[in-house]
Chain A
Amino acid sequence: MTETKTSNRSRETRSGVIGRPFDRIDGPLKVRGDATYAYENTLEGTAFGYILGAAVAKGRIAEIDTAEAERAPAVLLVMTHRNAPAQPDFGPAVMPTVPEVFTRARPALNSERVRYYDEPVALVVAETFEAARAAAGLIKVRYDEEPGLYDLPGHVADAYAPKRTNAGFETDSVIGDFESAFAAAPVKVDATYRTPFEHHNPMEPHATLAAWLGNELTIHTSAQTLANFRAAVASTLRIPLERVRIISPFIGGGFGSKLIAHADTILAALAAQVLQRPVKIALTRQQMFANAGHRAEMIQQVRLSTDTDGRLTGIAHDVWSATSSFEEYCEQTAVFARSLYAAPNRLTRHRLVPLDINRGEWMRSPGEAPGMLAFECAMDELAERLGLDPIELRIRNEPAQDPERGVPFSTRNLVACMEEGARRFGWQRRNPTPGSAREGRNLIGYGMAAAIRPNYIGAATARVAIDRDGRVTARLDMTDIGTGSYTILTQIAADSLGVPISSIKVELGDSRFPRTAGSGGSWGAASAGSALHNACTALKQRILDAAQSSEASPLRGANTTEASFADGEVRLGQRSASLADLVRRIAPDGFEAEGSVAAGAATQSYKAFSQHSYGAHFAEIAVDCDTGEIRMRRMLAVMGAGRILNPKTARSQIIGGMTWGIGAALMEQTVLDPRYGHFVNHDLAEYHVPVNGDVPQMEVVFLEEHDDKANPFGAKGIGELGVCGAGAAVANAIYNATGVRVREFPITLDKLLPDLPVIAI
């Protein structure tokens, strides 16, 4: 069971639409099975593709015999590098800049080279999925295999510094003289943590139905960001952007693995072109492990030094991460540490070791997820060394302004989150002596960690229209990846126009609609929401202008400086009229308007203020003293994340993030076999994500907050905040329970067992 307490009442608008826990508008569709996902789309004459992946991780295809597959029943096409339509070369290995990383061509089957295990080497298209899959099994491939590099820890000495990290951050930051401060400090922690490869594993696999009509290509797929897919498809097929339409109204989870086009999309588009009929392809669950991104393995060294009062004199966070040999990806793992705590001497660095694997991709809370897992454990280690409560240590190092940028915080309620959380969680019951709390055969532990996550805004445009019956339609190429975009955008439009939510229809997921930044980086609500808000403002202005000037208007000539839209009425000074009636009279064809928002990084507000969401995570766990099994008992998150647009969808986001924290702390790990270069446990039986039994009672509390620097609503990104620090709270609870500090994630029982004392029966 879960419980949510929210206090977000005072900032409700007149209509009270924003800030209310509306049910998800798309909920009934999904429960009834009426929400159509990519692979469920059907077009007349659809053919089915099945991808055959490489059996080696590095080398070249010496011979590929497709004759038997081509003769197999119902087979229409066997595509390999020998007959695939020409595509551009992939391009250089260095990290492409934004937006190159999103727009570059991503060719498939265009080379005899094999760059990673399970890279597509053939596509079979047949009349049925079963026929395509069976024929794929008949293809014989001989490889000239080459030795590859698959071992991060063994090659740390060969690491290099990339030009920048993901999201365009500086690779390194240096303030003061960390090494001297660290050497001179009376109290210090120097701890090295390891975090493993992880995979997104959204419930819905990556899937595409591609169809050509003349020279127009329509792609039904599962995409977080339509513009990226559109650009990559256009680049790869060398066709104008305008001829590509991407449709993705419902997405069964993405977690960052659907920000760019993958092989299913490219190959479906190519095969549909060759066959001149619609082609549908989905990655299998196993194929998703090699072909749809991952979080890279990392080694993180965290060094902290303080004076005897626990005030940090130095912070250093060094990260060595695996990357791909053919396309760089550097997760911004240490970047959050530039803003979290005060210290005069600071050092953060990112280094990469290229392996012969596919490229890592953005995975839920890139940077903070692995980075805070390490860093917030190191803070716990430091608190113990100082004999300080972990919350007190953090309070003593609360900065007055952003410690590296030197600008003020827009809002920052980290201390309030920790204090409110401590009170609600019963933190005072925590026994600071590890291994000292027992219930029966269980060792009980409490842990906490801070959460921080940047507030990103992506450029976005929205179009909104009102018809003669007062029905409002909002259109933008935003997506709803299960987060509640449809719902909060409906609330924003209803609030702005002063009409009930039943009057609003929000249409998303079509590249014919105005472009947004899509869903990713927790920027969706703020970016698309601000654009829609501005579109509604523009629409209202149009209506007001016409209301004043139109001869048919009952409000003609009214004083416009006191205009309001509320309760379905337009009020101008002392006069008012029904909105629908007004539109019908003055504009039988209705009104339409667009609104936009610029990317946050380009704005003055972003330059002048450090903008982050904050929170505090608390966890209680039990460790079986005989077996070492770790089971969650309860979790609490207290979040200060600006104004909460919808406490229900926001809570779902946070508890989803907390569940990711459980996964990262306790079970998620993909094992890369250093002999073969393949991910060994590439299915959901062997790659564990938390199931219902692993997720305890969770409580989520949002502090009342309004960030007027962030956007018109005062809201900030929350999607990924729930992940940040959640795993560290779990790990710190395990230490508190057992006295065993495991620095290699995930913390599975085999790592606890050697140091877990045998307790008398």
Chain B
Amino acid sequence: MQSFTYERAASAEQAAAAVAARPDAKFISGGTNLLDLMKLEIERPAHLVDISRLPLDRIEETAAGGLRVGAQVRNSDLAADPRVRSRYPMLTQALLAGASGQIRNKASTSGNLLQRTRCPYFYDRNMPCNKREQGSGCAALQGFNRMHAVLGASQACIAVHPSDMAVAMAGLDARIETISPGGETRTIPIGDLHRLPEATPHVETVLSHGEMIVAVTLPPPPPGRQVYRKVRDRASYAFALVSVAAIVEKSGDRIRSARIAMGGVAAKPWRATEAERMLAGAAASDGAFTDAAEAALAGAVGHGDNDFKIPLAKRTMRHTLAAAAESA
């Protein structure tokens, strides 16, 4: 770990300006990911701006009937909030399926969204990695890639985004509010926050340097039953092999609408829009769920060790849709 200077931000505007002022500065909140990366010198910020104490730790009702979640709300608090539990149960399920109790107590909402990939080649400075060192190559492509992406990957990078929370938020059409160094604010649909790797895997989001997330707004809960299903190698404290967030709204035996997001399959939470379109108006049947799952993975490409993710994602989606439809 390289030495760094540290300051505690007094306000969101000041925090954004402080990071923007130095190309080698970074925000730090819970530090559950950044500190690990700094110890391994994968991240080497020379200056840290601590935003964990900013008054961005409230969950408020919106006029539209949704919730506005401050960027500094801890994962544990967000999962436990009665309004989240009753109106966005999928989000609570996803949060509690992630990490460990200790980590959830430290991790912030915005930090969870911006956590970096767990690709073991990214985590080892001796290995080629285009995300860590542009142009050095991707060791995972021909290497041990059991945990890696089957959708939206490129020859430059096949890493996945590890968050569970973000997958549920993607299914809920969350919107990300940011503040820029100049004080301007903007709102980004969660689906547009993360970028696919293409030729520039080191650029992971659309945020500019110094632009800081201040809140995540959840629209009013969509009609239908919400289910988050995470598939993993052990019962706790493991990253998703695949996960599915599904909301199915029914009318009699037919599906009125469905929202589906997948985790563990891409560099961002993956919204299965084609599957959603197919399900709208379809009979709630095994066949429809199976067809939707096929459509959701239609473009999927395995890289060897992770080939199984394609059938696994299909099977998981089929069953998760069925579970969401059961009492919807």
Contact = CB atoms under 8 A, between A and B. Distances in A.
B1 A133 contact: yes
Given A683-B123, A686-B120, A761-B319, A628 B143 contact: no
Interface string B186-227: 000000000000000000000000000000000000000000
Interface string B232-262: 1111111101000000000000000000000
Contact of B318 (A666, A682, A690, A761): A761
B118 A685 contact: yes
Nearest to A56: B126
A690 B238 CA distance: 11
A309 interface: no
Q: How large is the interface on B (under 10, 10 to 19, 20 to 34, 35 or more residues)?
A: 35 or more
B21 to A, nearest CB: 24
Contacts of A683: 123
B241 A681 contact: no
Given A441-B319, A753-B312, A671 B144 contact: yes
Given A134-B1, A675-B142, A749-B231, A686 B118 contact: yes
A347 to B, nearest CB: 35
Nearest to B242: A627
B126 A678 contact: yes
Contacts of A673: 139, 143-144
Contacts of B126: 55-56, 676, 678
Interface string A667-691: 1000101011010111101101011
A628 B312 contact: yes
B7 interface: no
Given A691-B236, A761-B286, A749 B2 contact: no
A626 B316 contact: yes
Nearest to B237: A691
Contact of A130 (B1, B143, B236): B1
Interface string A472-500: 00000000000000000000000000000
B234 A688 contact: yes
Given A675-B143, A753-B308, A629 B286 contact: no
Nearest to A662: B234
Given A627-B231, A627-B315, A691-B237, A680 B120 contact: yes
A673 B121 CA distance: 11
B225 to A, nearest CB: 15
B58 interface: no
A750 interface: yes
A56 B123 CA distance: 16
A628 B2 CA distance: 43
Nearest to A72: B3
Contacts of B120: 680-682, 686
A754 B309 CA distance: 11
A681 B147 CA distance: 11
B289 interface: yes
A98 interface: no
Q: Is the interface of A mostly helix, strand, loop or mixed?
A: loop
A436 B115 CA distance: 43
A92 interface: no
Interface in B161-189: none
A748 B233 contact: yes
A678 B124 CA distance: 10
Interface in B7-32: none
B37 interface: no
Contact of B144 (A130, A137, A286, A681): A681
A693 interface: yes
A692 B236 contact: yes
- A682, A685, A692 — which one has the most chain B CB atoms within 10 A of its CB? A685
Contact of B312 (A137, A441, A627, A631): A627
Contacts of B232: 629
Contacts of B235: 631, 691, 693-694
Contacts of B311: 753-754
Interface in A91-118: none
Contacts of A754: 308, 311
A760 interface: yes
A203 interface: no
Interface string A123-142: 00000001001100100000
A451 to B, nearest CB: 24
Contact of A137 (B2, B233, B241): B2
B144 A749 contact: no
Contacts of B41: 137
Nearest to B120: A680
Given A678-B124, A690-B234, A626 B241 contact: no
A750 B2 contact: no
Contacts of A690: 234
11 contacts: A55-B126, A631-B235, A673-B139, A675-B142, A680-B144, A683-B123, A685-B239, A691-B234, A692-B236, A694-B234, A749-B231
Given A134-B1, A667-B233, 19 more contacts: A133-B39, A441-B319, A667-B234, A671-B144, A673-B139, A681-B120, A682-B120, A682-B124, A683-B123, A686-B118, A686-B147, A688-B233, A691-B235, A691-B237, A749-B308, A749-B312, A750-B312, A753-B308, A754-B308
Nearest first, the 8 closest Cβ-Cβ pairs linking A and B are: A693-B235, A693-B236, A750-B308, A55-B126, A626-B319, A761-B322, A761-B286, A680-B144
